[in-house]
Structure 1
């Protein structure tokens, strides 16, 4: 999926107007795939408050977001043409490494199984960006990531305002700050087409659940860990004030996903 502009500045995707085709990229972070139609259904009562289907799916989706955006950040450092794209890439790596630590901290406490690879659609974004070069990479990078972050921003607000689980609330706070930062650095690239982005966010297409859902890891597979950069500035959750003792020790780590997307 390629973004380009004609002489008038209209954004096109693969030769067709983006307003009709970029809808295909919308649900990357976006819609939370559910087991039942009721996201408010309580699936567990925990010492941190009831856990709903929506809460659980949110934790899984935050983890899945890092599993494709972290390697896209690595791609951006390699292939980005502008300093702004490289800056945005560093923010992706830094922010998602910290969110990943937080997801891996709270998931075992809430009995949530985390994926080791992103959804098929998210992996498709990585494949698309791997095939790009030159300025085309910068344009696709900025527009895909601005669309996905703009969409999850609304999801975070809904989870934060409705969850009764204090661990999920804390993760939503961290995710809110991280996603706002990532939206901002994408906008600073100067490559974002806002008309297309906002149209896609407000008119989401329907996608098969199989394309939106990250698969569960095989039994016994080591958990993938997103390694923080040496210059990290983002901070994972401190659970000591949330009724949690010492944080669980890190599981045996599989290799951190590189530019291949995990």
Structure 2
């Protein structure tokens, strides 16, 4: 059960998370390098758009796990890893909310059904089992997405996506490192999960599209953030879409 769930969580991070019905495209019939828009920052491809959505979706389940680790982690190292999740994903969330409207990308407000279940499963464990589940699953997911970020960074022709990939690369490397420092990571298991993810139905992997008019969820930075915000020369909308800061991952009215 635990092994299957770890594999499912891995697939969530790597699966295509766009909204084809809203965007008028079919993921099954289009190539990821197909250009879907010409922007002043360079052409935008399917995989560029999916990457922005994936980064946003990652924060919607990893940020809450960071908060949970603050209260349920049993060692200073696990609690510290949780702090890094909160700090890093708050900054990435702000970056996604900033560039998504600039590139006309629809981003989710809620994690996928499987991602929500993933958080609930981690939260249901306690003691050292919580520490182990937390460290191993997060190490697997970050280790896998690390390679995907490198591909985006090396191939995208869009400068906004390239900047987000730079930021995501630094954040994911940091998160991998703090998970390893907990001492709970099983590297043999992590490598197996990274290289043999199971296939899950698209409905399990896709976060629901935001409801029309719904306030945007904002992942609030910690009191003393250390992650560097994404800077865009000449950008005017500093908080991406006008959403006001919210406590935790609660929605706010923009």
Structure with greater strand percent? 1
Q: Deviations over 1:151-200 (max 9, x none)?
A: 11111011111111000000000000000000000011111111111111
Name the counterpart of 1:67.
Answer: 60
* 2:34 equivalent to 1:50: no
For residues 224 and 39 of structure 2, the distance between their equivalents in structure 1, rounded to whole angstroms, comes to: 36
Deviates more, 1:224-233 or 1:249-258: 249-258
- Structure 2, unaligned runs of 5 or more: 19-25
Structure 1 residues 245 and 231, CA gap change in structure 2 (3 angstroms) = closer
Determine helix, strand or coil for the equivalent of 1:224.
Answer: coil
Kindly indicate whether the alpha-carbon contact (under 8 Å) linking 2:43 and 2:158 is maintained by their aligned counterparts in 1: yes
Determine helix, strand or coil for the equivalent of 1:237.
Answer: coil
Structure 1 residues 64 and 160, CA gap change in structure 2 (3 angstroms) = same
Structure 1 residues 124 and 43, CA gap change in structure 2 (3 angstroms) = same
Structure with greater helix percent? 2
Cα root mean square deviation, aligned: 1.8
Q: TM-score, normalised by structure 2?
A: 0.89
For residues 254 and 221 of structure 1, the distance between their equivalents in structure 2, rounded to whole angstroms, comes to: 15
Cα drift, residue 254 of structure 1? 7.7
Determine helix, strand or coil for the equivalent of 2:14.
Answer: coil
Cα drift, residue 212 of structure 1? 1.2
Cα drift, residue 68 of structure 1? 0.6
For residues 108 and 115 of structure 2, the distance between their equivalents in structure 1, rounded to whole angstroms, comes to: 13
Equivalences for 1:160-171 in 2 at 5 Å?
A: 160-171=153-164
Name the counterpart of 2:173.
Answer: 180
Kindly indicate whether the alpha-carbon contact (under 8 Å) linking 1:64 and 1:115 is maintained by their aligned counterparts in 2: yes
Structure 1 residues 258 and 112, CA gap change in structure 2 (3 angstroms) = closer
Q: Deviations over 1:110-155 (max 9, x none)?
A: 0011111111121111101111111111010001101111111111
For residues 249 and 80 of structure 1, the distance between their equivalents in structure 2, rounded to whole angstroms, comes to: 31
Kindly indicate whether the alpha-carbon contact (under 8 Å) linking 2:219 and 2:249 is maintained by their aligned counterparts in 1: no
Q: 2:8 aligns with which of 14, 20, 24?
A: 24
* 2:51 equivalent to 1:92: no
Kindly indicate whether the alpha-carbon contact (under 8 Å) linking 1:67 and 1:257 is maintained by their aligned counterparts in 2: no
Equivalences for 1:28-177 in 2 at 5 Å?
A: 28-33=12-17, 35-36=26-27, 37-177=30-170
For residues 239 and 258 of structure 1, the distance between their equivalents in structure 2, rounded to whole angstroms, comes to: 25
Q: TM-score, normalised by structure 1?
A: 0.87
